[in-house]
């Protein structure tokens, strides 16, 4: 694939994990640890943090920090944008 998916070796696996399962956590550290455990890639939490930042900058994921209406605190949730879903489907094929 071309474009941002070539930028990071973790970007493709990141998109596939999010495509296959829901990644929600009370904070970013917990979410990144869950993400790392859900992937078959060996990488540090900081490497996953960079992959999430690349995916966000590339328009593949929504901002992971969420404050739902009426909530008293934020939570961390990774969700693909339509562009991210399309990229994950291409990776899956």
Give the tens place of pLDDT for each residue, 70-81: 777 788 899 999
Q: 65-66 and 75-78: which strand pairing?
A: antiparallel
How high is the mean pLDDT of the chain? Answer: 88
Q: In the numeric block, which tokens belong to residue 41? A: 């890639």
Q: What is the pLDDT of residues 11-24, one digit of tens each?
A: 999 999 999 998 88
Whole-number Å distance between alpha carbons of 68 and 72: 9
Dmax over CA atoms of the chain, in Å, equals: 41
Phi-psi region of 19 (alpha: psi -120 to 50; beta: other; left: phi over 0): alpha
Domains and CATH numbers, the chain: 3-92 (1.10.10.10)
Instruction: Evaluate whether 47 touches 10 at the Cβ level (below 8 Å).
Output: yes
What is this structure's pTM?
0.86
Residue 5 pLDDT more than 80? no
- Which pLDDT band holds residue 40 (cuts at 50, 70, 90)? confident
């Amino acid at each position: 694939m071309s474009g941002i998916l070539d930028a990071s070796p973790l970007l493709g696996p990141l998109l596939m994990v999010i495509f296959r399962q829901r990644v929600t956590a009370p904070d970013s550290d917990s979410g990144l640890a869950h993400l790392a455990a859900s992937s078959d890639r060996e990488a540090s939490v900081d490497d996953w943090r960079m992959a999430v930042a690349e995916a966000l900058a590339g328009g593949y994921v929504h901002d992971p920090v969420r404050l739902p209406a009426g909530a008293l605190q934020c939570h961390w949730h990774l969700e693909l944008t339509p562009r991210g879903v399309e990229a994950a489907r291409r990776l899956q094929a």
